[in-house]
Amino acid sequence: MTASKTADSARIAQLRKELAYHNHRYYVLDSPEVSDAEYDRLMRELQELESRHPDLVTPDSPTRRVGGAPAEKFEKVRHRVAMLSLANVFDDEGLSDFDERIRRQTGLPHVAYVCEPKLDGLAITLTYEQGRFVRGATRGDGTEGEDVSANLRTLRGLPTELLPRDGVKAPGMIEVRGEVFISKKDFKRLNDKREEEGEPLFANPRNAAAGSLRQLDPRITASRPLSLFLYECVPGEGVPAFRSHTEKLGYLRSLGLPVNRAVSVPSVEGVREQYRASLEGRHALPFEVDGMVVKVDDEDLRQRLGQVSKSPRWAVAYKFPPEEESTLVEDIQVYVGRTGALTPVAHLKPVKVGGVTVSRATLHNEDELRRKDVRKGDTVFIRRAGDVIPEIVKVVEGKRPEGTQPFVFPTECPVCHAAAVKDEEGAIIRCTGATCPAQLVEKVRHFASRTAMDVDGLGEKLAAQLVETGLVKSFADVYHLTRDKLLTLERMGDKSADNLLASIERSKQTTQPRFLYALGIRHVGESTARVLAESFPDVRGLYTASLEDITRVKDVGPTMAEVIHTFFHEPLNREAIDALLAAGVTPAPPVVVKTGVFAGKTVVLTGGMSGMSREQAKEEIERRGGKVSGSVSRKTDLVVAGEDAGSKLKKAQELGVRIVDEQAFLQLLQTDARG
């Protein structure tokens, strides 16, 4: 070797070591010491040196993580010890059966368990010899898998060399098992990119992970953001015998392998608690989890329990209710909303997802519909995660019946047949009909709703009847309804008519914020209506307000100001407002409360309350000058945590926000009694 080659060779060795170290900091310890740019610089230097000396390239060099040459097919690997799978349980009863069986078989009064998140990816096994990664395989049928070493090498989170610490020595041979997966963020990024490039989308992170690892061309795997966690190992040369699973996980960690969080509990009761907590916390995790794996902690007990067919008796997968299902699109219909927006909605064959039955899913707008190319007769994946509205993830193309056509979006309003055109913002197609009954029904319903004018008994059905019969053509017509007119409506009795008229009469005494909100101005929700009312105690003040005047209102941005300005300059709208005032509607200006416990404070309500509805609580707070917000942040002053409060409460605890229960909240309201 020449002197310069010897120097390069030393530098190569050092760079590899440094890069392995930084990978470990980044992927295993989650605490990087260098920036991505610095990492890339080291990598480039190594690449350059290796291209100068191709004979110094080794298969486990970090540069190989970009992927080597494609293979013809995967070699088969026979697993030294079979890769088992887990039996599933779906409810508490199933869990109790599992625990009882173990206690019966062992004669123990309690069994200690370890609870681990059940990652939704695919199982792999990795072999290290003398501390070096030599082989990796998929589970396959449990006995025989596929050799995906070249692909696994491209995972930056997989140490190609073990980095033992805490006095542990790398064993002569060890086989470790775990899961390859894609984090939610990476999955989204991956699918966004595929969408941009016009490639088919992955239905979920699991499919994306499996599809990415089982690629004959490792360069493709290298371009996919795969992550990895290990959770088991099989006995090997120089691997200590473990007393417990907890001890084993500690050992894997001290070899520098990525290990997920696991919780040890003394008995099945702890498993129940853990399950509740992880079900609640699943959406906050950075990766997809489809359940919790419950494992007997004691290794001797595991031995005694053994296995049945392909699953161990000492572990079980306690599944979460699925959040994704496939179902059939029976129809696609276009609805017209209060603002005239045409919204395509898929009517689905009812299916249970995330605990509720779903029979419709919005497709949002024409662009989205076209992008996903959902057609009548298609089988689709739908997803409902947490409280979010169900959405169609993708079409199962293989199941598309023959002869289907892409959905043709109407060019006219399906209700009033006026032209439907794309609005300024691009994606939304709106009905241009000023007197479109679809909008009017929705507008009247909104006008009368509880948080607006609060006309009891005037819901969607009645609003539709009133509009269809022509009794209501504008808001003010609501105040010109008479007993006789109402009695002409189908299914309207004397008593209901009287009750309705009474609540219409009552609604005249309203507040300025409610009144502004009831007008149904685009973008103007309850809180904007409130701030607007504070600056414009008389609604007519808005007729002459300039765009600048409106923009000056706290929390009103330029887009919103524009909409508000346009609204109050439209003569038809002024006419409608004047007619309401002439009919006797009297909006009281808001009282600006500057003192008291709630004045100027931001409050978040979470969990259930027994003494009052959330709506009432909100009103009480607002009456005292407070603001109610939907999410907890550093700006939150107070969190009212009712029954079964969840993630918001947790966040508040983390941020150190003041938290009160319902009882204490009621007391606060009392000390600051107003109104």
Min separation Cβ 205 and ligand IVH, Å: 13
User: Is 310 strand, coil or helix?
Assistant: coil
Per-residue 3-state assignment (H helix, E strand, C coil) for 509-559: EEEHHHHHHHCCCCCCCHHHHHHHHHHCCCCCHHHHCCHHHHHCCCCCCHH
Which residue lies nearer to ligand IVH by CB, 299 or 367? Answer: 299
d(CA 202, CA 186): 12
How far apart are CB 243 and ligand IVH at their closest, in Å? 18
Tell me how far apart the alpha carbons of residues 466 and 288 are, in angstroms, rounded to a whole number: 48
Alpha helices by DSSP H, listed for 282-415, are: 299-305, 366-372
In DSSP notation, 373-389 reads T--TT-EEEEE--TTSP
Interface contacts to ligand IVH, rule CB under 6 A = 84-86, 116, 118-119, 123, 139, 179, 231-232, 293, 312, 315, 317
What b/e string do you get for 606-640 counting C-beta neighbours within 10 Å, with b at 16 or more?
bbebeebeeeebbebbbbbbbbbeeebeeebbbbb
307: tokens are: 């296995």
Catalytic residue of the set 118, 248, 443, 648: 118
3-state secondary structure of 651: helix
Q: How far is the CB of 284 from ligand IVH (least distance, A)?
A: 18
Query: In terms of CB distance, is 39 or 318 closer to ligand IVH?
Result: 318
If the CB atoms of residues 298 and 622 are measured against ligand IVH, the closer one turns out to be 298
Residue nearest to ligand IVH (CB): 123
3-state secondary structure of 596: coil
C-alpha to C-alpha distance for 139 and 81, rounded to whole angstroms: 11
Q: Which amino acid is at 437?
A: P
Q: Is 184 a catalytic residue?
A: no
CB of 289 to ligand IVH, least distance (A): 8
Largest Cα separation within the chain, whole Å, is 108
**For ligand IVH, the closer CB: 231 or 318:** 231
CA distance 517 to 453: 9
Residue 451, both tokens: 């948080």
Helices 92-106 and 268-281, packing angle to 10 deg = 150
Count of residues for the chain? 675
Of 139 and 627, nearer to ligand IVH (C-beta) is: 139
Alpha-carbon gap, residue 553 to 429, rounded angstroms: 30
Residue 96, amino acid: S
Q: Tell me whether residue 235 or residue 401 sits nearer to ligand IVH (CB atom).
A: 235
Q: Which long-range contacts (CB under 8 A, 24 or more apart) does 646-655 make?
A: 646/280, 646/606, 646/607, 647/280, 647/281, 647/283, 647/284, 648/604, 648/606, 649/606, 649/607, 650/281, 652/604
Nearer to ligand IVH, 20 or 115 (CB): 115
213 or 317: CB nearest ligand IVH: 317
**Closest to ligand IVH by CB, 291 or 340:** 291
Whether 604 and 655 have beta carbons less than 8 Å apart is answered as no
For residues 105 and 84, what is the distance between their CA atoms, to the nearest angstrom? 21
**Residues forming the active site:** 118
